[in-house]
Amino acid sequence: MELLGVVGSLRAGSYNAQLMDAAAGVLPAGAGLTIFEGLRDIPPYEEGIEDPASVTAFKDAIAAADGVLFATPEYNGSIPGFLKNALDWVSRPFEHNVLRNKPVAVIGTSTGMFGAVWAQAELRKVLGLIGARAVDRETPVPLAASSFLGDQLDPDLLEAVAATVHDLAELVQARAAV
């Protein structure tokens, strides 16, 4: 099983990049995770133009994956604009987009008390409208500065991340069985 990881923060070494690394460490046996590194290169969405190479690369990465794991920060109570923009590109053409029926899961962390819970809900909503099959689980990691002990995530929070990753794996397996 191959999963694609999409980190909704562009900052090198961001807490959400660290969270994705933690998720990579709790994958089920036989699962692999590849991080998509090209979000920064995706231009603003413009209907009616041919997909730029960066968009094609993102679509191809999603299409090649059995499932997608998103790690998102929270910007003003929602998802980062560039992440939403990338999803706008991916959602076209709507009827045949690469996220349609694709198993996805969302995790997130922030420096605040709520651990990007609003952003996670918004992202699951957007993914659902696009047609993805989202794991219905909140996995907030609050107070990121103190939740990561060096390069390790607090064990209780890591357990929650592992549960979400395993739910995603089960969703992927259920889709494959159909």
Task: State residue 164's pLDDT score.
Answer: 98
The residue to which tokens 């969405």 are assigned? 45
- Alpha-helix residue ranges (DSSP H) falling in 13-52: 15-24
Tens of pLDDT along 19-40? 999 999 999 999 999 999 999 9
- Answer whether 0.75 is exceeded by the pTM: yes
Question: Cα dist. 138→40, 70, 76, 160 in Å?
Answer: 26, 12, 18, 9
Tens of pLDDT along 155-175? 999 999 999 999 999 999 998
Could you tell me the pLDDT band of residue 149, with boundaries at 50, 70 and 90? Answer: confident
Which CATH number do you get for residue 30?
3.40.50.360
Look at the chain and report how many structural domains it folds into.
1
| Range of the structural domain that residue 65 is part of | 2-177
- Angle between helices 155-177 and 15-24 in degrees, nearest 10: 60
Give the alpha-carbon dihedral of 165, 116, 90, 133, to 10 degrees. 40
pLDDT beyond 80 at 62: yes
Task: State residue 25's pLDDT score.
Answer: 96
The residue to which tokens 């699962």 are assigned? 31
Could you tell me the pLDDT band of residue 176, with boundaries at 50, 70 and 90? Answer: confident
Task: State residue 178's pLDDT score.
Answer: 77
